[in-house]
Amino acid sequence: MSDATEAIRRQQLAEINADPNGREALEAKHGQVWDTSELQRDFDVLGFMAPYVVASRKSDGKKGSLMFQGSPRFYFGWSAD
């Protein structure tokens, strides 16, 4: 199966993980940031396609996506569909 997004996702993943940021830097750039336990508290994860995760927000059931970096693992950039 062909994935038209694979090349751009690989590039984004390399860029994110080449210079991973701490929580404060990510919050300054992207707003709210979640660690893994906070993500599990606020979202139901539907799938991963690095550097993205598709999720449903528990508070209102809205589906959308977040980006994530590998280490330290933080999720950021919530965007509702």
Q: Tokens 């330290």 appear where?
A: 72
Q: Which domain holds residue 27?
A: 6-80
Let me know if 66 is exposed, middle or buried by CB neighbors in 10 A (0-12, 13-18, 19+): buried
Q: How many domains does the chain have?
A: 1
pLDDT digits (tens, 9 = 90+) for 24-56: 999 999 999 999 999 999 999 999 999 999 999
Q: Residue 12: pLDDT band by 50, 70, 90 thresholds?
A: very high
- Nearest-CA neighbor of 18 among 76, 73, 65, 71? 71
Which H or E run contains 49? Answer: strand 43-49
Q: Does residue 51 form part of some domain? A: yes
Task: Output the pTM of the full model.
Answer: 0.91
Asked if the structure places residue 1 within a domain, the reply is no
Asked whether residue 39 is assigned to any structural domain, the reply reads yes
Task: Give the pLDDT of residue 22.
Answer: 93
